[in-house]
């Protein structure tokens, strides 16, 4: 870093640094007008380099002169400054690279339709991240006032999900790559040579290595594009197949750690295997047949002992609304597009939500058909979340009893004997889950470990035993028949009404 600072450093500030900065600022208008009067014969890579070098040691806000300019890099791509930071300590600047697809190394079939274009853009984003890491271009210089600062160049680091992102897009036959760039400075003086090296050399290396040059990664591109296309096709086939979710055999569901999303590795990993009774075959346009477990609409329970994989399975289903990159372990695991996981959110705000299907008869006759709270309890927050989900047209909700409000999920027989129904304003989810599907068409997937009354309303019961899934629906129904739960009959569930948020 000392070499960089020496090469790209500004003048030493022998007087008060604030006075020097003030004198520099007073000269900015005159110098800036000179820049504006200097007409560039052509906005190209050399022009950008010259302009940045001319700015060397000038006040930092001279960088603003770059805003809106586009610079052509030899007819391969253009670089444009979409945002220029006003201070070395502010959020970084943003640049956009535009590259015609015909000048990239990616074949026509990889962007032949919208689905493939999204997959290719995701692949380019990940490839760009790898190249930046190889070049160590994402390392930010830090130091004291007199040391160089900034210099980092990065794009958004993608997750395991393939998504439509602004960091890498394909539009109108062009690749758009958007970088964050910390324009370098020493104190608040521009390091023009350093900036020129980043913008004219480092950016060029990254773009050419990520998007141009020999097509050595064609097979990887094909795998990524076709995998995404297959997963999107599978998700679209769930409704015609009368399924809300599909988990392929051989999937790796556990993650490496709670705070990361990469797959668990090692010899002890247990791959998913569907019970024979629930095994389903799906067709993909590229991969062909995919065999796995199909989850039908209705009420599905995931039961089992602690640490046997219940939450792991539910978490995988929750993220099944997104397609995954090859190698994630959860490729081809798909859920219906509106599926989501709900939980209690103590302290959340509720604004005008009708929660009367679950909560009414509050003390002081507080209205629950248009309920407000700035500090909701666990039960009211969960009731509001379900009604908001119904307002949005959701068709498959997921709940894990570990993150749910107990009094919202169930009331056992002893509590019912102690506390009469007219004294309890909460109608547990147990009382509504069956009706939620039969009347409203919303399926539920619920993880239970201690609420056995849910066996009475379940269509399918899955048991996790040492990470292996078993279909115990028949056994569960026998248990429910032998010892039925007391589930009272409630007034019909009303669909959510339109509301205006004040």
How far is it, in rounded angstroms, from Cα 271 to Cα 474? 25
Q: How far apart are CA 432 and CA 398, in angstroms?
A: 14
Residue 497's pLDDT is 74
The distance from CA 141 to its chain's CA centroid, rounded to whole angstroms, is 29
CB 165 within 8 A of CB 194: no
Contact 310, 297 (CB under 8 A): no
Strands 148-149 and 323-324: unpaired
Q: What was the pLDDT predicted at 138?
A: 82
CA distance 434 to 156: 43
Largest CA-CA distance found in the chain, in angstroms, rounded: 90
Dihedral sign of CA atoms 79, 84, 88, 89 in order: negative
Q: What share of the chain is helix, strand, coil (3-state, %, to 5)?
A: 35, 20, 40
Residues 6+ apart with CB under 8 A from 115: 228, 229, 232
For 57, 68, 190, the CA distances from 31, given in Å and listed in that order, are 13, 19, 14
β pairing state of 460-465 and 299-304 = parallel
pLDDT of residue 163: 95
Alpha carbon 103 to its chain centroid, in Å, reads 31
Q: Cβ of 135: how many Cβ atoms within 10 Å? A: 14
Bridge partners of residue 177, in order along the sequence: 97, 168
Q: Tell me how far apart the alpha carbons of residues 447 and 374 are, in angstroms, rounded to a whole number.
A: 29
Query: Across-strand partners of 299?
Result: 444
Between CA 248 and CA 243 the distance in angstroms is: 13
Which DSSP string corresponds to 41-104? SS-BHHHHHHHHHHTTTSBGGGGGGGTT-EEEETTTEEEEEEE--SSTTSSPEEEEEEEEGGGS
What is the secondary structure of 270-313 as a DSSP string? ------GGGEEEEEETTTEEEEEEEEPSSEEEEEE-TTSSHHHH
Residues 6+ apart with CB under 8 A from 420: none
Q: How many CB atoms lie under 10 A from the CB of residue 39?
A: 5
Please give the span between the terminal C-alpha atoms of the chain, in angstroms, as a whole number: 55
Alpha-carbon span 409 to 2, nearest angstrom: 62
Q: What does the angle CA 147 – CA 151 – CA 156 come to, to the nearest 5 degrees?
A: 140
- Please state, in angstroms and rounded to a whole number, the distance separating the CA atoms of residues 175 and 96: 10
SS3 state of residue 469: strand
Contact 381, 349 (CB under 8 A): no
pLDDT in tens, the chain (502 residues): 334 333 333 343 334 444 444 444 444 444 444 444 344 434 899 999 999 999 999 999 999 999 989 999 999 999 999 999 999 989 999 999 999 999 999 999 999 999 999 999 999 999 999 999 999 988 775 555 456 788 999 999 999 999 999 999 999 999 999 999 999 999 899 999 999 999 999 999 999 999 997 788 999 999 999 999 999 999 999 999 999 999 999 999 999 998 899 999 999 999 999 999 999 999 999 999 999 999 999 999 999 999 999 999 999 999 999 999 999 999 999 999 999 999 999 999 999 999 999 999 998 889 999 999 999 999 999 999 999 999 999 999 999 999 999 999 999 888 888 988 888 999 999 999 999 999 999 999 999 999 999 999 999 999 999 999 999 999 999 999 999 999 998 999 988 877 766 6
């Amino acid at each position: 870093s000392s070499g960089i600072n020496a090469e790209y450093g500004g003048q030493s500030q022998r007087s008060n640094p604030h006075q020097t900065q003030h004198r520099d600022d007073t000269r900015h208008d005159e110098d800036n007008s000179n820049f504006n009067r200097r007409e560039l014969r052509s906005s190209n890579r050399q022009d950008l380099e010259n302009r940045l070098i001319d700015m060397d040691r000038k006040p930092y806000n001279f960088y603003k002169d770059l805003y809106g300019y586009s610079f052509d890099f030899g007819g391969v791509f253009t670089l444009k400054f979409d945002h220029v930071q006003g201070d070395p300590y502010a959020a970084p600047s943003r640049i956009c690279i535009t590259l015609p697809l015909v000048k990239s190394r990616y074949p026509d079939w990889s962007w032949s339709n919208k689905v493939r274009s999204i997959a290719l853009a995701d692949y380019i984003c990940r490839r760009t991240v790898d190249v930046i890491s190889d070049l160590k271009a994402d390392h930010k210089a830090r130091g004291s006032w007199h040391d160089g600062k900034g210099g980092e160049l990065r794009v958004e680091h993608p997750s395991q999900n393939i998504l439509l992102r602004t960091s890498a897009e394909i539009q109108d036959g062009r690749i758009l790559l958007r970088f964050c760039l910390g324009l370098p400075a020493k104190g608040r003086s521009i390091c023009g040579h350093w900036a020129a090296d980043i913008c004219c050399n480092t950016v060029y290396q990254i773009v050419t290595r990520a998007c141009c040059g020999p097509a050595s990664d064609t097979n990887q591109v094909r795998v990524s594009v076709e995998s995404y296309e297959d997963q999107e096709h599978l998700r679209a086939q769930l409704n015609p197949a009368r399924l809300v979710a599909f988990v392929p055999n051989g999937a790796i569901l556990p993650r490496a750690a709670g705070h990361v999303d990469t797959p668990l590795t090692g010899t002890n990993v247990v791959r998913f295997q569907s019970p024979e009774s629930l095994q389903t075959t799906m067709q993909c346009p590229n991969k062909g047949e995919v065999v796995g477990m199909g989850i039908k609409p209705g009420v599905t329970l995931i039961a089992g002992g602690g640490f046997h994989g219940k939450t792991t399975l539910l978490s995988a289903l929750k993220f099944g609304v997104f397609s995954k990159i090859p190698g994630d372990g959860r490729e081809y695991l798909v859920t219906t597009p509106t599926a989501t996981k709900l939980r209690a959110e103590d302290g959340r705000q509720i604004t005008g939500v009708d929660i009367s299907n679950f909560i009414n008869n509050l003390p002081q006759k507080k209205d629950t058909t248009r309920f407000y709270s700035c500090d909701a309890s666990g039960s009211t927050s969960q009731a509001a979340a379900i009604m908001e989900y119904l307002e949005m047209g959701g068709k498959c909700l997921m709940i894990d009893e570990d993150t749910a409000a107990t009094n919202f999920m169930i009331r056992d027989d002893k509590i019912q004997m102690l506390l009469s129904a007219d004294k309890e304003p909460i109608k547990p989810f147990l009382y509504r889950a069956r009706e939620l599907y039969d009347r409203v068409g919303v399926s539920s997937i619920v993880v239970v470990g201690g609420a056995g009354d849910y066996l009475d309303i379940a269509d399918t019961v899955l048991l996790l035993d040492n990470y292996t899934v078993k279909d115990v629906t028949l056994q569960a129904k026998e248990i429910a028949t032998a010892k039925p739960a007391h589930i009272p009959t409630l007034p019909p569930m009303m669909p959510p009404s339109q509301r205006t948020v004040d």
